[in-house]
Amino acid sequence: MWKMLWPALLIVLSNTFYNIAAKATPRQANPFLSLTVTYLVGASAAFALFLALSPDRSVAAGLQKLNGTSLLLGVAIVGLEVGYLYFYRAGWDISVGPLVVNIALAVILLLLGALCYHERVTLRQAAGIALCLAGMVLINGK
């Protein structure tokens, strides 16, 4: 069970700090310079973990095992990061904004899972989608 639980806890903890940091980034700071510093810190941490935890520390051998998903993930991360910086600058509350986008993301991923990966969507999941969409309407209603 711990094998399944610890990554979820890491994601929740990291996402909590992520949203606090994104909301607290100064409005006058250039978002792209801010992200450059963020990625330099992140790249340094990731490379240090690669060196510390990889049995084979060969960068060349490791690079040969990669494919285009690393490039796609890099572009997606920039979009995500810039999106959140502008998201909070536009006035979204930290208590509501992430909930809205994560509900939308969950619904989209459920549909993509069904259409692209042939994952089964149960009646319970369909009801969950309906409740999530209703919740988004209630949360955003003024």
Q: By three-state DSSP, how is residue 61 classified?
A: helix
Closest by Cα among 127, 132, 124 to 101 = 132
- State pTM to two decimals: 0.88
81 C-beta neighbours (distance < 10 Å), count: 19
DSSP character at residue 94: T
Q: Determine the Cα–Cα distance for residues 130 and 106; give it in Å rounded to an integer.
A: 12
pLDDT 10s per residue in the chain (142 long)? 899 999 999 999 999 999 999 999 999 999 999 999 999 999 999 999 999 999 988 999 999 999 999 999 999 999 999 999 999 999 999 999 999 999 999 999 999 999 999 999 999 999 999 999 999 899 888 6
Give the residue extent of every domain in the chain. 1-92, 95-142
Closest by Cα among 113, 112, 92 to 19 = 92
Q: Determine the Cα–Cα distance for residues 107 and 137; give it in Å rounded to an integer.
A: 14
